Amino acid sequence: MRRGVFLDRDGTINRAFLRDGKSYPPASLDEFELLPDAVTAIHRLHDAGLMTVVVTNQPDVATGKQSRAVVDSMNERLAALVPIDTVRACFHVEADGCDCRKPKPGLLLEAAREFDIDLKCSYMVGDRWRDIAAGQAAGCFSILLDGGPDEGVAAAPDAVAGSLLAATDIILDLDRKRTAA
């Protein structure tokens, strides 16, 4: 089985936009901008043999605030810039009650089945409690990026990091210890 790193997209890999204390994805491909050190971090994870999987909630598609084509173009640009193995997106709103919308682990479970990922030896990194809860529900070691929207703590992370690059250091250190044992 493979080891993987599940990465939230907006606010973790690329810049999210805060309005009235709430986080929003980029509205257009022109606004899609990778965060500092995201390219380095993802290359390091990939080079260490970890599968990189983006798992992202995109409810603005369901509400009509965003088109699926724009979200797809952002994901395509991301995959062209960094070694992402696959992108999994949920286009539902909370009221839909789907299994794929974080904090439920459906996106992670689906990718794990398809790519033979051992969730107990894998990691989830995100900037919101929903990411942490999804990772923990899937059995992953979960890292919260400090500095995301202040939504309170509905799920306690296994670790906290100041950036994706700092989270990468934590992951690579733990992964070395796990594979050496």
Structural contact between residues 13 and 35, judged by C-beta atoms closer than 8 angstroms = yes
- Tell me the residue type at 38: A
Kindly report, residue by residue over 63-75, the tens digit of the pLDDT: 999 999 999 999 9
Mean pLDDT of 146-171: 86
Q: How many CB atoms neighbour CB 178 within 10 A?
A: 12
91: which residues sit within 8 A by CB, 6+ positions away? 58, 59, 61, 62, 68, 71
pTM value is: 0.95
37 touches 162 (CB < 8 A)? no
Quote the tokens at residue 11. 């606010």
Taking the C-alpha atoms of residue 28 and residue 41, their distance in angstroms, rounded to an integer, is 24
Model pLDDT for residues 90-139, shown as the tens digit of each residue: 999 999 999 999 999 999 999 999 999 999 999 999 999 999 999 999 99
Give the pLDDT band (50/70/90) at residue 152.
Answer: low
Domain boundaries, the chain: 4-180
Beta-carbon contacts of 74 under 8 Å, excluding residues fewer than 6 positions away, are: 9, 14, 25, 26, 29, 32
Give the residue numbers marked as catalytic: 8, 10
Q: Count CB neighbours of 168 within 10 A.
A: 25
Check pLDDT > 90 for residue 18.
no
Side-chain half-sphere exposure of 48, counting CA atoms within 13 A: 22
| CATH topology (fold) of 4-180 | Rossmann fold (3.40.50)
